[in-house]
Amino acid sequence: MADTGWQRFGLYGADGMPQNVHGGLALARSLEELVQRFLREGGIKSPVTSTRGINGRLKYLATHEGGMTALRQAGVAVTDGTIRRWFNRSQRPGSANRELVDTAYWTLRAHNMLRNLGWLKRHLDNKGRGITLEIYPVDQAAVRDKYRRDLNVRTKKARREWPAFIDAFQNGNKAALEARWEAFIRDIDSDWAAYTFVSHVGLIGA
């Protein structure tokens, strides 16, 4: 960490609040929430109990690599021939298996979205305009009054940083996330190190 004082994060109790984490990890939390939102919003909205819902899920599983494996991992125990009949719509799964098809569909969709996050880089690049991060300072509720600091919510535009941020996020590389975050906040102002640890990072307009 860049600043000696902030190397001792938690010395006065700030680590007693679970939302207080390194900014790179807070950003990763927000990216995960964003991916989950796109997963839900872009998925099949019809319930699996409807004809449209079950057919859509089975079509996705039939036409994407790993569909059969996803069904097996979800607990589907019928024969391969039965699954092929589901895929060609000559047979419909029963109620219990429909729930397993639903699980397999969402699991495979999530896997495919996370396997290649180029779409997320393009979204956050926003045609070169980037998006603004809203940086919330650490929650000091667990810090004794005399050690508290007057810290405000800050905003900062992120543009060229997204490929590196998202690669580190996709690979679960905590060290890279932390290093990228510290490089990102350096030019906030002379108090930038106070935002090494934060309570939340918002993605404005994402």
Distances in whole angstroms, Cα of residue 78 to Cα of each of 57, 93, 104, 108, 135: 17, 10, 14, 19, 50
Q: Across residues 48-75, what is the average pLDDT? A: 98
DSSP code of residue 139: P
Is residue 16 scored above 70 in pLDDT?
no
**How far is residue 180's CA from residue 170's CA, in Å, rounded to a whole number?**
14
- Dist CA 164 CA 124 (whole Å): 12
pLDDT class of 193 with cuts at 50, 70, 90: confident
Q: pLDDT tens, 76-122?
A: 999 999 999 999 999 999 999 999 999 999 999 999 999 999 999 99
**Separation of alpha carbons 191 and 169, rounded Å:** 26
Q: For the chain, how many residues are written? A: 206
**pLDDT of 125-166, one tens digit each?**
999 999 999 999 887 776 666 666 778 899 999 999 999 999
